[in-house]
Amino acid sequence: MTDTQIDTSGIPPVEERYDLRHLTTFIPNKRTPIHNWFYFKEGFARDFVAASLDWMGVKEGTLLDPFVGSGTAVLTAREVGLSSIGVDISPLMVLVSRAKSEDHDLGLLRQLSSRIFATRFVRPSLTSIPSGVRKYFSKYALEDVVFLRSLVDGITDEEARDFFIVLLMSSAMRASYAYKDGALLRVRKRPTPSFRKFFRARVKRAIKELERFRPIGPEPSLRVGDARMLGFIEDSSVDCIVTSPPYLNKIEYTRVYDIEYSLFLPGMPPAPIRSYIGLGVSVGESVFPSLPPVANAYFADLKRWLSEMWRVMKDGSKGTILIAGGVFPTGVVDSDMCLAVLAKEMGFRVDRIIALNTRVATRDRVVRIGQVRESAVIISK
C-alpha cells in the first residue's frame, strides 16, 4: 500500500537479490571477532557494510552512520581504512560502539583481567536491583554480576572500563533467563553457564581478538545525538553513508534493553525510539496523505533526516540505507519506495533499490495482506 498519489517517475525498478538476505541480520556477526561482543538483534551484518561500499564504489574518505546501533558500520570502516562518524540517540548503543572500535591498551586489559578474577568474592546486596530485573536471573548469577560490576566500575581508565562493561553486559544476558521477543522481554527458564567462569573466558577471548585486530582507519568519532539534528557535523564533510533507520512499526526498540540500562547504566533513562525516528510524534506536514498517521510521522522524520544528510554530504557522495516496509490493517507500506521518492524530492539521485529480504504480512495472524520488503536504497548527491 504505497500512497497512490506518489509520483515514482525517475525511480529505478526494484532489483531482487534475496540470495543476499543474510546481509540484513546481525546473525553473521555472531561469528565475527569483535563484532560479536554485543548481540544487537536489530543490527545488520558486517558484510552489509562491505557490500554497500562496493555498490557505492567507496574506497576512501569519511563514512557516517547516523543510527550507529552496535557500531557495525564504524568498526568495519576502521577495518577497511575509512574515517567514520557514528551517532545514536541511545547512550547504550554509543557505549557499545565505542568499546568495539577504540584502541585498547592490551597490557592494561590483561593486568585488569588478572586483578578482577583474583579478587575474592564478597556477596553483594541485591536490594537496589528492581524486582523486574531480578526475575531474569538466578540469585547466584545476579550476585556474581553485581559483584563484578562493582569491580569494573572502579576502573579509572575509561577505554578499559568500556571494554569490561560491554563484555559484562553481554555475558550477563547469556547467563540470564531473558528472551528478547520483538518489543518484549520474556522469562525463559533454561540451563545457564557458571557466570564467573563464562565471563572470564569471554574476556580472555576478546583480548585475543584484539591482539589479532589490525585496523587501517582511525578511531571513529562517536556521539549521542538525534539523527535529524547533526549541527556538530560540518557541511559537505561526509563521503558516504551506510545506515539503517528504525523500521516502520509499532515497536518501542529500547524496552528490550531494560536489563542493560538497569544493571549497567543506572540513572540513565533510555531514549525513546518508536516507529518514528526522533523523540516527538507531532507531524508538521502530511508527507503522504493517504498513509496512516504513524506512517506520516515516520516519513516526516525521514524527510527531516534526509535534509540533514543533504547538508553534511559532499557533492558526488553516496549513501546506502537499509529500510523495511511497515504493516498496517489496511495493507503494507513500501518504505523503500517512499524513501526513494523523498530522497528524489530532496535533490538526491536514486541509483538503485535492492530488495534483500521479504516476508509475508498478515492481519490477525492468519489473514495474508501482502509482502514486506527489506531493501537497500542507494542514493547520490
Q: What is the pLDDT of residues 329-380, one digit of tens each?
A: 888 999 999 999 999 999 999 999 999 999 988 776 777 888 999 999 999 9
**Which of 195, 212, 229 corresponds to the end of one domain?**
212
159 falls within a domain: yes
**Which of 212, 235, 255 corresponds to the end of one domain?**
212
Res 307 pLDDT > 90: yes
Say what the pTM is. Answer: 0.92
Tell me the residue range of the domain where 148 lies.
106-212
Predicted confidence at residue 276, as pLDDT, reads 42
* Number of domains observed in the structure of the chain: 2
Name every residue whose Cβ is closer than 8 Å to that of residue 105 and which is 6 or more positions away in sequence: 157, 159, 160
341 falls within a domain: yes
* Whether residues 195 and 283 fall in one domain: no
140 falls within a domain: yes
Lowest mean pLDDT among 29-38, 186-195, 279-288: 279-288
- Percentage of the chain surpassing pLDDT 90? 71
Give the separation between CA 37 and CA 222, rounded to whole angstroms: 18
* Whether residues 327 and 344 fall in one domain: yes
201 falls within a domain: yes
Of 66, 68, 55, 70, nearest to 20 (Cα)? 55
* Whether residues 207 and 303 fall in one domain: no
Q: What is the CATH number of the domain that holds 347?
A: 3.40.50.150
* Whether residues 299 and 319 fall in one domain: yes
* Whether residues 252 and 355 fall in one domain: yes
* Whether residues 124 and 140 fall in one domain: yes
Q: What is the pLDDT of residues 37-92, one digit of tens each?
A: 999 988 999 999 999 999 999 999 999 999 999 999 999 999 999 999 999 988 99
Give the separation between CA 233 and CA 243, rounded to whole angstroms: 16
Q: What is the pLDDT of residues 102-129, one digit of tens each?
A: 999 999 999 999 999 999 999 999 999 9
Estimate the crossing angle of helix 106-118 against helix 158-174, to 10 degrees.
50
Of 184, 175, 108, nearest to 144 (Cα)? 175
* Whether residues 58 and 139 fall in one domain: no
* Whether residues 45 and 80 fall in one domain: yes
**Which of 148, 177, 212 corresponds to the end of one domain?**
212
229 falls within a domain: yes
Residue 157, classified by CB atoms within 10 Å of its CB into exposed (0-12), middle (13-18) or buried (19+), is: middle
Instruction: Report the chain's mean pLDDT, rounded to a whole number.
Output: 90
152 falls within a domain: yes
* Whether residues 204 and 242 fall in one domain: no
* Whether residues 354 and 294 fall in one domain: yes
| Sign of the dihedral defined by the CA atoms of residues 54, 56, 59, 60, in that order | negative
Q: Within 13 Å, how many C-alpha atoms sit on residue 44's CB side?
A: 34
| Residue 119: count of CB within 10 angstroms of its CB | 12
Contact 351, 378 (CB under 8 A): yes
4 falls within a domain: no
Res 305 pLDDT > 90: yes
Q: What is the pLDDT of residues 199-228, one digit of tens each?
A: 999 999 999 999 999 999 999 999 999 999
* Whether residues 154 and 227 fall in one domain: no
Mean pLDDT value of segment 25-35? 96
* Whether residues 82 and 162 fall in one domain: no
